[in-house]
Amino acid sequence: LLLSLGFVYVIVDYCRTQARLERMVKVVLLAGAGAAVLGIIFWLLPEDTTNTILNFLTRIGYPGGWVIRYIEENPELSERAISTSVDPNVLGGLLLMIGALAGPQLVAKRPLFPRWLTWGIVGSIFLCVVLTFSRGAMFGLAAGLGFIALLRYRRLIPYMFGGGLLLLLLPVAQTYIERFVEGIQGQDLATQMRFGEYQDALTLIGRYPIIGVGFAGTPDIDLYLGVANVYLTIAQVMGIVGLLAFFAVIGILFFYGLSHRHFFKAHEELDALWLGLHAAIVGGLAAGLFDHYLFNLEFHHAVTAFWLLVGLATAVTRLGVAEQNGAH
C-alpha cells in the first residue's frame, strides 16, 4: 500500500513534459483495452477452456482450481467476465476508471490515437464492463462520464441519456435491470450480505474510532475486517484519522485541479487528458461506495492503478500551471 502511495511521486516526477504524460496515458489505455479484450474472449470461450487457460497462470501466483465467477456465485446464473483480475468487481473497477479516462478522447479534436482505434478501445472497455455484471462498476462509469459531461460537454447529456435508454433494450441489459431493482429493494443475496457487512463495520468503527485496528485483523472475535465499501474499510483499518487523511488528499487533488480549470478550457490539447484523468478518479471513488478493492492488499494491482491515476491527474494540472506561468 505504501509503495502504491509512493508511486504518485514517481509519476509526477516522470511526467514533466506533455509528451511523457501522453505516453503514459497511451500505455494505460492500451493496457485497459488489452485486459478488456481478454475478458471478452474468456467470456465467449467455453468455461472449461477459460478455466484451463487461467490455471496455467498459477505458476505466477494466480489462484488455482475452478476460477470462473458467476452472478451470486451461482453457476445457474450468467458467467461474469474476469479477464486475469481474479474478481469481476475488480476488473469492472479497473476498466471503469480507464473507460472514463478514454471517454473524452472520443470527442477530442486531436485524440491520442487514430479515431478508429479510439472507438475500438472505448467500445471494448465498455463492453467488458457490462460483461462483469458489476453494478458498482456501471455506477462508477456513469459517474465518471457524468463528470465529463457536466464540466465540458453538457450538450452531450441528452445523447448520453438516449444511449443509456437504448442499452437498456439489449437482452444482456435485462439482467442488469433485474439486478439493480433487486439491489435497490435489498432482495438479492449480495445486497443482503452488504447490509450485514455495513452494520458490522460500523460496530467495529464505533469500538476503535480513532486509529482503527490496523491490517493484522480485529482483536474482537465477534467482529471481522472486510466490508464492500472502501470508505468503511479505511475507517476500519486506519480509523477516522485515516479516513479524514484520505479525504484530505483527494480534496487537495480536486481543489488543485479545479482552481486551474480555466486554463484547460482554453487549451484543448490538455483538456481531454485533464477531464479523463479526473473523471477516472471520480468514477473510482463512486464505485468505492459498493466495493473495497481500492484499499485491499489482495488486489494490489487495483490499488496501484488508482494511485497511478492520481499521480497522472496531479501531473496534468502541474503541466498546465507550468505553461500558464511560462506564458506570463
Tell me what the mean pLDDT of segment 43-53 comes to.
Answer: 94
129 has pLDDT over 60: yes
Write down the pLDDT at residue 196.
79
Identify the residue with better confidence: 59 or 37. Answer: 37
Question: Closest by alpha carbon to 233, among 190, 8, 139, 242?
Answer: 242
135 has pLDDT over 70: yes
What does DSSP assign to residue 1? -
Residue 97 CA to residue 28 CA, distance in Å, equals 10
DSSP assignment of 223-246 equals --S--S-HHHHHHHHHHHHHHHHH
- The answer to whether 85 and 291 are in contact (CB under 8 A) is no
Residue range 96-113, pLDDT digits in tens: 999 999 999 988 888 999
Question: Closest by alpha carbon to 281, among 320, 252, 240?
Answer: 252
69 - beta bridge partners?
80
Measured between alpha carbons, how far apart are the two ends of the chain, in Å? 40
179 has pLDDT over 80: no
Which burial class, exposed, middle or buried, applies to 279 when counting CB atoms under 10 A from its CB (0-12, 13-18, 19+)? buried
Whether the pTM exceeds 0.85: the reply is yes
328 has pLDDT over 60: no
Write down the pLDDT at residue 147.
93
What does DSSP assign to residue 87? S
- Calculate the average pLDDT of the chain: 87
